[in-house]
Structure 1
Amino acid sequence: MPPVFSHGDLRLYLLSLLDEAPRHGYDLMQALSDRTGGTYTPSAGTVYPRLAKLEDEGLVTKTVDGRKTVYEITHAGRAEVAARAGDLEGIQAGLADSVRLIADEVRGSVREAMKSLRADLAAAARADGDAATHRAATATAAEEAGRADAREQLRRAEAIVAEFRGAVRADLRTHVAHGGALAASVVDELSRALDETSATLTRALRG
């Protein structure tokens, strides 16, 4: 997936967030997640070193409020935000493009997985229908063989569903573990695709 922020852009974006209001570290991470529709949630190891560098440069100050450290922009920091307003507009535009690309990639992966699952389930359903036709035209021994084949196809279908479920869960958990997050639109797309798959299977089994 493409990076959300180019080199140096996160520093300026953090400064712009502090220009809006003083914040502690978690507030900044949450604000970044909110501004990217949940597709980007930076780790503490990403945010705090940049805040420390901004403090060293005299662009922000920090105060301890109970168990929280609150960061506030200085006059010099506000001057840099104002001087780089054009750069900040470019970051905002690039950020929107990056978020759209990430969301499109996730949706594309889900659609491809759903397409493969629908094909496998439809094949299993056709095999089950063929077995049912064969059972009706053969003797008792042949009927038993057909039932065995149907049970095998059922086990195959269940294995396909279980494998798909495990793969999707692993991909989603890996994405979140690496600092990513899922937009509601992506989860909605997954839900719609599964509903379509269920309807396709129902029609195939009745068919």
Structure 2
Amino acid sequence: MKKSYKHLYFIVALVITCAFLLFYIIHQQANHNEVLKNLEVNEKGFKKLTSEYTDLRIKYDKIRMSSQMTEKEKVSEKLALDFFETLFNYDNDNFVSRFKKAEKITTKKIIENIKGAGEVTSPRAKVEKRITNIDIFKQIEKKNEMFLLIQLDSIYSVDGEQNPEMKELYKIKVNIEEEKVMHFEFLGNLNLIEHS
């Protein structure tokens, strides 16, 4: 009686095929993981490029708009920027001195209203208010005056603890001849407030 090796050959072929498939699956999984990593890197790069493009587009629009502005509009915008950057970009080092610096670009009454009652001293805690964005909207133009709406985005921190970004709306009146902010009004906070 002859033994048939067909069964044995079939098992060996099956084992070799299974081993080949196992190696193939492992190889494909490694390729798949590499492709996923590349996609993730490309996605991050794309998001970064999109963000940079948006920032550049905003800067371009501002430059384009400023080139179309009248001389009065340019003066009033510069005064508005100087006013807010002087008074609302501060830390412990310039907390008190910013008011003296602002006397050149606004009235004493406005400075006193912003300072509040009493003598201003630098806080003991480490404080910082940093402007992240200023949007200026021309509202009304009169002979030598310009009324502007200002949206001010800023972050305030105490002892290194940052609060959420604040979006505030102001209205100012700029006297173009005197190159001073003559009226300053806080219109409100644009942040959403949730109550539970």
TM, length-normalised to structure 1: 0.28
Larger RCO (alpha carbons 8 Å, 6+ apart):
1
Determine which structure has more spread, i.e. the larger CA radius of gyration.
Answer: 2
Structure with the bigger percentage of strand: 2
